[in-house]
Structure 1
C-alpha cells in the first residue's frame, strides 16, 4: 500500500505543480490583459479629453465671433440712426427757415425746375396760404432774368408734403419738395455726414 500512497502523493504533487503553473500563467495573462486594456482606456480617455477641449475652444471662438458681429451690427445701426437723424433735422431746419429765406429758397427751386415759364406751382396747404404768391412772384423774376416767360402760376391743388413745392405742366411734374431734396442729398452727403459725426 505504501506504493499506492507514494504514487498518489506523486500524482498529487505533480497535479499541484501543474495547478500552480496554470494559476501563474493565468495570473500573468490576466495581468497582461488588464494592463493592455488599462492602457487603451487611458488612451481613449485622453483622446476624448483632447477632442472635448478642441470643441470647447471652437465653441468659444464661435461665441466670440458672434458677439463681435452683433457688436458691429449694433454700432452700425446706431451710426445709421444718427445719420438719419441728421437728415431729419436738415428737413426740419429747411421747413422752418425764416420766411424771407424760405421764399427765396422755394423761388430758386421753382425757377430752376421750370422749363417753359408756363408751369403751375403746387404748394402744401400751409405754404399756399402764407407765401405762395411771394414765391411765384420771385420765381417769375428769376425766369425773366433767364430769358424765359415769367408766367408761373399758383396751382389750385395742394400737395401732401411738409415743405417745398412741385412744378407741374400737364402730366409733367418736377418734385422740388424738401423731403425729395433731402432724400436725393442723402447718397451724396451721407459719407460726409458720417465723417463729421464719427471723425472717420
Structure 2
C-alpha cells in the first residue's frame, strides 16, 4: 500500500498549519493549567505557614504533583484530538482530490487487490453516479492486462456506505480498500508521525 502511505504522508505534511495551531493551543493550555495549580499551591503554602503548620511543604508538593498530572492528562487528550483531526482531514482530502488523480489512485488499489481479475468492485453512490466507478474499473483492467492478469473487473450493482475508496469482492471474499479503512490501518504509524510533528517528540 505504498500509494496510500505516500498520500497520507503528503497530506500530513500539508496540514502543517493546522498542526502548528494545535501545538500552540496545547502549549498555552499546559501553561495555564500549571500556573493555576502553582498559584493554588503557593496560596495554600502561605496560609499554612501563617497558621504555623509544619506540613505546608508537603501540601504544596501534593498540589504541584496534582497540577503536573492534570497537565499531562490534558496534553494527552489534546494529542489524541489533534491526531484524530489530522486523520479525518486526510480522509477528506483523499476523497476530494482531483478526479483524475482519484481515479488513478483507486484503479491502482483495485488492480493490487484483485486476485483473479474477475472480481466486482463496490463503490459508494457518489462515485457510481459520477461515472468515476466505470473509469476506475477501465483503468484497473488496463493495469491488470499489463501484469498478465485477466482484465475482467466489473462495477458492482451494490453501493457501499463509505466516504471514498472501493471494496473488491469475489464471492464471499472482500478486500476493503475504503479510504477510511486504509487511513485507520495506518493510524499507529501516522499517529506517531503527527504527534512528533505536533509536540516535537
Q: After TM superposition, is the score higher than 0.5?
A: yes
User: Is the aligned partner of 1:90 residue 2:90?
Assistant: yes
- SS class of match (1:176): strand
1:157 deviates by: 0.5
Cα distance in 1 between the residues matched to 2:59 and 2:196: 37
User: Is the aligned partner of 1:125 residue 2:125?
Assistant: yes
1:164 deviates by: 0.3
User: Is the aligned partner of 1:160 residue 2:161?
Assistant: yes
- SS class of match (2:66): helix
1:146 deviates by: 1.3
TM-score, L = length of structure 1: 0.71
1:188 deviates by: 1.7
* Corresponding residue of 1:188: 189
Cα distance in 1 between the residues matched to 2:82 and 2:191: 11
Cα distance in 1 between the residues matched to 2:186 and 2:146: 27
Cα distance in 2 between the residues matched to 1:106 and 1:159: 15
Cα distance in 2 between the residues matched to 1:189 and 1:115: 28
* Corresponding residue of 1:72: 72
Count the aligned residue pairs. Answer: 150
- SS class of match (1:118): coil
Cα distance in 2 between the residues matched to 1:53 and 1:111: 75
1:184 deviates by: 0.8
* Corresponding residue of 1:148: 149
Cα distance in 2 between the residues matched to 1:190 and 1:199: 13
* Corresponding residue of 1:12: none
Per-residue CA deviations over 1:85-125 (Å, capped at 9, x if unaligned) read: 11111111000010000000000111111111010000000
Cα distance in 2 between the residues matched to 1:105 and 1:196: 26
1:136 deviates by: 0.3
Q: How does 1:55-66 map to 2 (within 5 A)?
A: 56-66=56-66
TM-score, L = length of structure 2: 0.71
* Corresponding residue of 2:23: none
Cα distance in 2 between the residues matched to 1:163 and 1:133: 15
- Aligned-residue Cα RMSD (Å) equals 1.5
More moved, 185-194 vs 144-153: 185-194
Cα distance in 2 between the residues matched to 1:139 and 1:129: 19
Q: Which runs of 5+ in 1 are unaligned?
A: 1-48
Cα distance in 1 between the residues matched to 2:165 and 2:125: 11
1:193 deviates by: 1.5
Higher relative contact order (CA 8 A, sep 6+): 2
Cα distance in 1 between the residues matched to 2:80 and 2:87: 11
